[in-house]
Chain A
Amino acid sequence: MAPKKNAARDITPSAATTPSTAQASVSSTSTPLAAGVAASPAKHASGGKAYSSTSSGGAQSWDKVIGNLVNYYMDSTPQRTKLLDAFMAFLAVVGALQFLYCILAGNYPFNAFLSGFSATVGQFVLTASLRIQTTEANKSDFPAVSPERAFADYVVCSLILHFFCVNFIN
């Protein structure tokens, strides 16, 4: 079946370490959330909202929330979707590395940087779209898109994306 093949191919480099990568992806995706969380009680305290009084206990409840999130993710995500997530995490890391390089070492071959960075961002976005379209819960949103169709779209879009990137890289 097509999606399975796709998933297998996408993940080949890190196939052996799939569970751990998935784990890593979870922690990495939840990091910004945690950062946001740290900022939030202060915000609300200054706003004088009702639950500002519980700000001391807030951190713990946020921990619980994150715990819930991780559990929910681990329990209810199909294996293939986890593979997609691992690929997205990989792309995010690559994109971040490129951006870091651009900041630290300068953006001299700007063409090359842009096309490399857009390739990761574009692929990330496309993978996210594929993930959304293949998730069971979203089925009602996409009456016209079957998982097979979604995968075919994904391949076509990726081809277009990489054609443009290669053309632009100089």
Chain B
Amino acid sequence: MKSKTANLFYFIPYSLWLFLFVVAPVALILYNSFLDINHHFTLANYTTFFKSGTYLMMTLNSLWYALLITLVTLLISYPTAYLLSHLKHKQLWLLLIILPTWINLLLKAYAFIGIFNQTGVANQFLSFIGVGPQQLLFTNFSFIFVATYIQIPFMIMPIFNAMEDLNQSYINASHDLGATNWQTFRRVIWPMTLPGVKAGVQTVFIPSLSLFMLTRLIGGNKVITLGTAIEEHFLITMNWGMGSTIGVVLIVAMVIIMVLTGDAKSRGGFQK
């Protein structure tokens, strides 16, 4: 009996946190999304959102760029994680990959402004090899490049863990039964590391939907995502209702992604 009360006691800080910083904000967003600019109850925000081409375009844009970022990140991270898991000092290498995540996102963004600007290192190099200076900053390319750079560690980690769990004897068994390297990858390695890939996609895709600092600093607001729109509504137009509505749409999109990628526990999943 005593231990049960004690357990409840330990639960208090977490419950408070959960209520104050997760439940309450989400409830407030939901509440605000039904208020117009004069704080009257309305459904107009939602009708505006779904009737306006601008917002739908923005949603598609967000999804599209998040998808691109996730895809590029995955293409780089999967082979990297595979390579890492076969290295001798893999924990050290992994640490080096994780290291950049300890640096503030804004700092990294400003660093890239320095690298990509007209007189930056990147353009100096391009001039040196004879290509000449290019407009790098404020392009879609630089936006995806920097976003990918920032997300890569979050993709590598879960895939690396899945690779570590993958026993060499599965790969040997596959070769033993006559499989080529490609067949082994397709039939054994990929399906068994898929849970790691799904976890990585979740941690990369969902935050990528609402990137707004990068769209502004690196993408030069050429790419306008839902994240940018929310920021504008809250800070510039002061239309909190509309901002909240977009927020709700974003939350729903995230839930959908989580459901789609989150069936790792059912059949087909790889469990230790």
A, B from the same assembly: no
